[in-house]
Amino acid sequence: MKSFTVEEITQIVGGMLTKVEDVKISQIAPPLLSDENTLALALGEEEIANLSKSKAKAALVPLGVNLDSITTIEVERPRLAMMKLLNLFYTPPEVNKGIHPTATVHETAKLGENVQIGPNVVISHDAVIGDNTKILANTYIGGGAKIGQNCLFHPGVNIGDRVQVGDDVILHHGVSLGADGFSFVTENPDNIEQARKEGEIKEANAKHVIFKIPSIGSVVIGNNVEIGANTAIDRGTIENTIIGDNTKIDDLVMIGHNCRIGKGCLIVSQVGIAGSCVIGDRVVIAGQAGLADHIEIGADTIITAKAGVTKSFPEKSIIVGIPAVPRKDFIKQLKTMKDAQEIFAKFRKYEPLLKEFEDNINHDHNS
């Protein structure tokens, strides 16, 4: 079991130590779940208050929190310090050394040094796997795929033909890279084309046939990218679908064909991005947001949860609502709705007087 002194941990997180007693730290936990060898993580007001009920002898706290009864390590950015500690105590998934006997590696595939291949992995023809990459059980690597160095693929990952993955990439369970894009065409204009052009559906062609448009592009994943479980990124129709360096994608995200996602983006669970979207650098897309096809989102933009984005937005936008609008416009809409409720309430109040007035006018006209 790993164990560290409070001095060692203070140096690792770059904190300020106020020492009450010597403590050996072998794990981290919230205050109420901590014992004498646990560093209590008191990052917020509630956790700080719970330290009085904790068995912990040491705690990680925000800068300025100094308690006489317990050893404290004060840090300016508690969440950043927590990340460093979790990496300190993290145990990576186990994978066998070398190539598992049940794995299938094509004779033309090229494996770098210290590559580890788990059970039932399939590596197809002409695939290239970089040094120190770990590929866990039941993963498929397509023909001509190029995988960088120091990658970690969890079980059940599927990599299509000619997909390129950079260095230091983490793919979680069930990730799909390089499936065909959802791209089709009909011989005559279909309902969608009519609706877009005319604003209505005038004719329905019951005999129309839907033809699949094959995808001959691929997917390119940059360096230091992490992609969550069961996320799917489709290959481009002609050009590649691209994910920029340092971008982090949550579970259950769908990114359509031809999309170009910038560097350092955060894309949260259940986001759907339709084909041919261009997303700038450092964009944050919150959970369950949806983006229509062929739109551009400028760098440093935030798209809030459940937003329905149907048009392009410039850089540094904060996008809210369905259909999505800039945040300041959304606030105006809320105010307008509130004002409308007040106006309607007043109308209800005076509606009998209005009716009486109208009845009198009608009576005068009929006299």
Place of tokens 């100094």: 66
* DSSP letter, residue 10: H
Strand order of the sheet with strand 27-29?
A: 16-18, 71-75, 58-62, 38-41, 27-29
Question: In sequence order, what are the beta bridge partners of 146?
Answer: 128, 164
Structure tokens at 209: 């046939």
Give the type of residue at 328: K
Number of H helices, E strands in the chain: 5, 39
Fill in the DSSP letter of residue 14. T
Instruction: Give yes or no: 173 in active site.
Output: no
- Amino acid identity, position 132: N
Q: Is 336 strand, coil or helix?
A: helix
Exactly one of 106, 257, 294, 365 is catalytic; name it. Answer: 257
What are the Cα distances from residue 14, in Å, to 60, 78, 152? 11, 11, 28
Reduce the DSSP state of residue 41 to 3 states and report it: strand
Torsional sign, CA 31, 32, 33, 35: positive
Residue 272, Cβ neighbours under 10 Å: how many? 15
Q: Alpha-carbon distance 282 to 84, whole Å?
A: 22
| Alpha helices, DSSP H, located in the chain | 6-13, 45-50, 78-89, 191-198, 327-366
Q: State how far the Cα of 137 lies from the Cα of 152, in Å rounded to an integer.
A: 12
In SS3 terms, 119-163 reads as: CCCEECCCCEECCCCEECCCCEECCCCEECCCCEECCCCEECCCC
CA end-to-end span of the chain:
101
User: What positions carry a catalytic annotation?
Assistant: 257
